[in-house]
């Protein structure tokens, strides 16, 4: 358990990171407008573009219930971004797969979401390297 001063400092840094990502440079609105869909649809498309999965797997990854996941997939399928196919190993399941258009739109979403804020691009290279090491450490511990 960290000492109270360290815990307070960590909480302050965490609030700053949250504000930076979710308030000052939130790319979710930008990607939703660019793709003309809700963020949960963007998330579904991005996950399926990486690898086909069943509806059950998708619902688990999105942390949504089955009926809502079906609505999301129905909409993305209507847009020509996904298709349902028979699962090769389970006749009872359908595999949801991205179309070429779906993979292209997922790549466009990734490009928008990965765009760093101008302040990060303006960092001194040594500071950016330090930040990169810290983020990598936080992501792997």
Look at residue 113 in the predicted model and tell me its pLDDT: 95
Mean pLDDT of 84-98: 91
Contact in structure between 68 and 79 (CB atoms under 8 Å): no
Domains along the sequence of the chain with CATH: 26-113 (1.10.10.10)
What is the spatial distance between Cα 33 and Cα 30, in angstroms, rounded to a whole number? 5
pTM above 0.95, yes or no: no
User: What pLDDT score was predicted for residue 108?
Assistant: 98
Query: 116 or 91: whose pLDDT is higher?
Result: 116
Q: Contact, 72 vs 64, CB < 8 A?
A: yes
Residues 96-128: tens digit of each pLDDT = 999 999 999 999 999 999 999 888 999 999 999
For residues 2 and 10, the answer to whether their CB atoms sit within 8 Å is: yes
Confirm if 95 and 84 have CB atoms less than 8 A apart. Answer: yes
Q: What is the dihedral of CA 78, 79, 82, 83, to 10 degrees?
A: 30
> In 19-126, where do the E strands start and end?
53-54, 82-86, 94-98
Q: What's the token pair of residue 90?
A: 């389970």
pLDDT in tens, 2-52: 888 899 999 999 998 888 888 888 899 999 999 999 999 999 999 999 999
pLDDT band, very low/low/confident/very high, at 71 (cuts 50, 70, 90): very high
**Residue whose entry in the numeric block shows the structure tokens 């389970």:** 90
């Amino acid at each position: 358990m960290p000492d109270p001063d360290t815990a307070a400092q960590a909480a302050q840094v965490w609030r700053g990171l949250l504000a930076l990502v979710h308030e000052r440079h939130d790319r979710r609105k930008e990607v939703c407008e660019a793709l003309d869909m809700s963020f949960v649809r963007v998330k579904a498309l991005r996950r399926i573009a990486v690898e086909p999965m069943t509806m059950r797997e998708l619902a688990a990854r999105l942390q949504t219930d089955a009926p809502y996941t079906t609505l999301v997939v129905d909409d993305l399928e209507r847009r020509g971004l996904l298709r349902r196919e028979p699962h090769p190993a389970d006749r009872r399941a359908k595999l949801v797969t991205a179309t070429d258009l779906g993979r292209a739109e997922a790549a466009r979403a990734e490009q928008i979401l990965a765009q760093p804020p101008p302040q990060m691009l303006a960092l001194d290279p040594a500071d950016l390297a330090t930040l990169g090491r810290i983020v990598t450490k936080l992501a792997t511990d």
